[in-house]
Structure formats: structure tokens, C-alpha cells
């Protein structure tokens, strides 16, 4: 912190999201579909567990790491020395994901955000759960990315601002009224991630900004690398998939207040919504003949796989209950 020079950590190539420092010389990083432990000075990384997504992790004082292994799951915990993964939290009815864990002092409980809609910051709650008893309490009805501040406050992100409320870590209870702490903090509207952190002595660091929409344009790229922007308007697009065998339509997720699958017709230049049931529908995938689309949906509760059938009338049908 006494230098402006940034130094890469050997062995973390391809890493994403947080590096979690439990001590000055050891950290953790998400890379290659794994949560890995690695020395800051470099060397062989120790895989700790599968992590297909990277929605937060936290290193507790008792040598345990809480992390999110995948989208649509509760928190898992694993020893920082490696070993078996154990469930830490379970999804409640209507919840799609638990994210951004933060151990309280002595690691007897963990704070986390519970997402209940397509955009976790807009439709989520802040909860706390005892590590020993498994008792859970919902603390804040609209918030994301919670952190416990050494001043004795629960801090959380809410629509681009940091809110603070007095919190008793022994009773696991809010003891006062939430007030704005910092306005204008960079935050994602899709997963609720807010760009801030605390030191052990209470210093706050953050990136100024707002709730970023992350809007983008759809672009077609030829085999020789030439780019051609499509006429579709700028939206928060995720995971476009071109139909087979003729490539005339694109199935794409648009993530805003909800997450829905849309179809873009390349010849007509029209964008049409495909999914309506549930507030989270994403990851579309065409069948080889281009007549059906499989996608992930919360239309019946927990995330499941559905199939859209037909050329004109698309009717979701459950195809897997696991």
C-alpha cells in the first residue's frame, strides 16, 4: 500500500475476481474453473474446489473458506489446506443464488446476499447464518454485497450507494436504522457486485461510479475477422447463440431487472422476447436442427432446464428435474 507499483502474482494467469489474503503471503484466486490457494510469491497452486462461477469468497479466521461454487447454489466451505467441500447455506423458497460471503469476527457466522430475481441487487436480501447451529436470519430486504465493518456496522450496497446499519455480531441482529454511508459506488446491476472493501482497522476503499448497465451491441464477425454491428439496440446481452444449420436467428439472454431469453432475426432485424415465465431465464442453446431451444429457467421455482418447442408458438416444457 506504500507503492503505486502493481506486481503480478506468478501462477495466477487466467485468474478472475478476488484474490483473498488470509495472511500477507498466502491468497486465493478463481482460475480454470477452480478456487485455488497460492503463495503471493508464486509457486504451485493448490486446487480447493470446483467453482464454475466466481460470485465471492471469504477466508475465515479458523482456516475455512466460504465461497460460491456455481450460479444457482448456496455457499460451500472448505479448509484452506484442502479436503472435502461441505454445504454452508441452503437456498430458501424463491431464492436463486447465495453470493458475496463475509465471515463475522471469530468466523462463528457468515453474512451473504440471497438473490431472488434476475438482478440480485434489485431483488435480493442480506442474510446471516450461524456456522455452528445453521440458524439463519434475514436482515435486509433489499441489498447486496454485505460486509461487516470494524466499527460495528453491517455495510451493504443498494442501488449504487453504500448503506450502514448498527449490527451486533454476537446476537446476529440489526440494532438500529440504516443510513447512507457513501453515494456513488460502482456496482453491477446483474450480480450485485459492489467495488469496495474494508481493512482490519476500518479504512474504506472503493471505486467511484454508479450502477453500471453494461450495455453492449451484438456484432457479427466473419471468418476473416471483419466485424459487422447488428441493428439490434444496445442492451445488457449475455451468451448469444446462433441457430443451426442456416444461422438466421440468434438466441440471447438480456439481463436487466429480469433475465429473459430473446430471439433476434438477422434477415428481418427484429428482436422478439421468447420467455415470460419466471424472472430468470438464460443460457439458451439451439438443437442441431435449429427448431428448439433449451434454456435455464426459474419459472417453477429452483433453476431447471426447459425446452422451447415449435417455430411459431414457443412453449416451455420441463425436460430435467435435477
The whole-number average pLDDT for the span 102-124 is 80
Q: How confident is the model at residue 312 (pLDDT cuts 50, 70, 90)?
A: very low
Percentage of the chain surpassing pLDDT 90? 42
CATH assignment of 219-320?
A: 2.120.10.30
The whole-number average pLDDT for the span 19-40 is 70
What is the value of pTM for the model shown?
Answer: 0.72
Q: Which long-range contacts (CB under 8 A, 24 or more apart) does 231-236 make?
A: 231/269, 232/264, 232/269, 232/271, 233/271, 236/189, 236/190
Residue 163 predicted with pLDDT over 90: yes
What whole-number distance in Å separates Cα of residue 120 and Cα of residue 143? Answer: 8
CA atoms within 13 A on the CB side of 219: 9
Give the range with max mean pLDDT: 33-37, 70-74, 93-97, 228-232. 228-232
Q: How confident is the model at residue 315 (pLDDT cuts 50, 70, 90)?
A: very low
Task: Tell me what pLDDT residue 293 has.
Answer: 94
Task: Tell me what pLDDT residue 152 has.
Answer: 94
Residue 54 predicted with pLDDT over 60: yes
Task: Tell me what pLDDT residue 58 has.
Answer: 87
Give the range with max mean pLDDT: 36-50, 70-84, 161-175, 295-309. 161-175
Of 322 and 74, which is predicted with more confidence? Answer: 74
Q: How is residue 207 written as a grid cell?
A: 471505486
Q: How confident is the model at residue 322 (pLDDT cuts 50, 70, 90)?
A: very low
The whole-number average pLDDT for the span 30-42 is 76
Task: Tell me what pLDDT residue 95 has.
Answer: 84
The whole-number average pLDDT for the span 44-69 is 82
Residue 25 predicted with pLDDT over 90: no
Which stretch of 76-80, 163-167, 182-186 has the lowest confidence by average pLDDT? 76-80
Q: Describe the chain by its helix, strand, coil percentages, rounded to 5.
A: 0, 50, 50
The whole-number average pLDDT for the span 286-302 is 88
Task: Tell me what pLDDT residue 43 has.
Answer: 73
Q: If you search the block for the grid coordinates 506468478, which residue do you land on? A: 10
Task: Tell me what pLDDT residue 216 has.
Answer: 87
The whole-number average pLDDT for the span 114-126 is 69
CATH assignment of 16-206?
A: 2.130.10.10
Per domain, the residue ranges of the chain are: 16-206, 219-320
Helix (H, G, I), strand (E, B) or coil at 154: strand
Task: Tell me what pLDDT residue 319 has.
Answer: 45
Residue 23 predicted with pLDDT over 60: no
According to DSSP, residue 195 is labeled -
Q: How confident is the model at residue 22 (pLDDT cuts 50, 70, 90)?
A: low
Q: How is residue 62 written as a grid cell?
A: 479458523
Residue pair 146/112 in contact (Cβ under 8 Å)? The answer is yes
Phi, psi of 107 (to 5 degrees): 60, 30
The average confidence (pLDDT) of the chain is 84
Interval 239-278: pLDDT, tens = 999 997 788 999 999 987 678 999 999 999 999 999 988 8
Residue 119 predicted with pLDDT over 70: no
Q: How is residue 184 written as a grid cell?
A: 456513488
The whole-number average pLDDT for the span 303-315 is 66
Q: In 3D, which of 64, 84, 72, 19 has the Cα closest to residue 45?
A: 19
Of 110 and 310, which is predicted with more confidence? Answer: 110
The whole-number average pLDDT for the span 64-80 is 86
Amino acid at each position: 500500500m506504500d507503492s503505486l507499483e502493481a506486481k503480478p502474482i506468478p501462477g495466477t494467469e487466467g485468474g478472475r475476481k478476488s484474490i483473498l489474503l488470509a495472511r500477507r503471503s498466502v491468497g486465493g484466486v478463481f482460475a480454470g474453473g477452480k478456487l485455488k490457494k497460492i503463495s503471493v510469491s508464486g509457486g504451485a497452486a493448490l486446487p480447493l474446489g470446483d467453482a464454475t462461477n466466481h460470485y465471492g469468497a471469504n477466508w475465515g479466521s479458523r482456516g475455512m473458506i466460504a465461497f460460491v461454487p456455481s450460479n444457482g447454489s448456496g455457499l460451500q466451505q472448505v479448509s484452506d489446506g484442502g479436503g472435502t467441500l461441505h454445504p454452508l447455506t441452503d437456498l430458501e423458497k424463491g431464492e436463486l443464488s447465495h453470493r458475496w460471503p463475509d465471515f463475522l469476527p471469530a468466523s462463528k457466522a457468515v453474512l451473504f446476499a440471497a438473490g431472488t430475481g434476475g438482478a440480485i441487487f434489485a431483488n435480493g436480501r442480506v442474510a446471516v447464518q450461524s456456522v455452528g447451529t445453521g440458524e439463519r436470519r434475514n436482515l435486509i430486504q433489499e441489498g447486496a454485497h454485505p460486509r461487516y465493518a470494524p466499527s460495528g456496522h453491517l455495510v451493504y450496497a443498494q442501488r449504487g450507494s453504500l448503506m450502514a446499519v448498527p449490527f451486533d455480531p454476537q446476537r446476529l441482529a440489526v440494532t438500529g436504522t440504516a443510513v447512507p454511508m457513501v453515494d456513488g459506488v460502482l456496482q453491477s446491476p446483474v450480480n450485485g457486485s459492489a467495488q469496495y472493501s474494508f481493512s482490519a482497522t476500518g479504512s474504506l476503499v472503493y471505486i467511484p461510479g454508479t450502477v453500471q448497465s453494461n450495455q453492449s451491441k451484438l456484432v457479427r464477425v466473419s471468418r476473416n475477422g471483419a466485424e459487422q454491428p447488428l441493428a439490434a439496440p444496445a442492451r445488457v446481452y449475455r451468451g448469444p447463440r446462433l441457430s443451426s444449420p442456416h444461422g438466421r436467428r440468434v438466441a440471447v439472454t438480456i439481463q436487466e431487472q429480469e433475465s429473459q431469453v430473446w430471439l433476434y432475426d438477422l434477415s428481418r432485424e427484429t428482436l422478439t422476447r421468447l420467455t415470460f415465465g419466471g424472472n430468470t431465464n438464460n443460457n439458451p442453446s439451439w438443437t442441431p436442427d435449429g427448431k428448439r431451444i433449451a434454456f435455464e429457467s426459474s419459472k417453477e421455482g429452483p433453476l431447471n432446464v426447459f425446452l422451447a418447442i415449435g417455430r411459431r408458438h414457443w412453449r416451455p416444457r420441463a425436460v430435467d428435474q435435477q
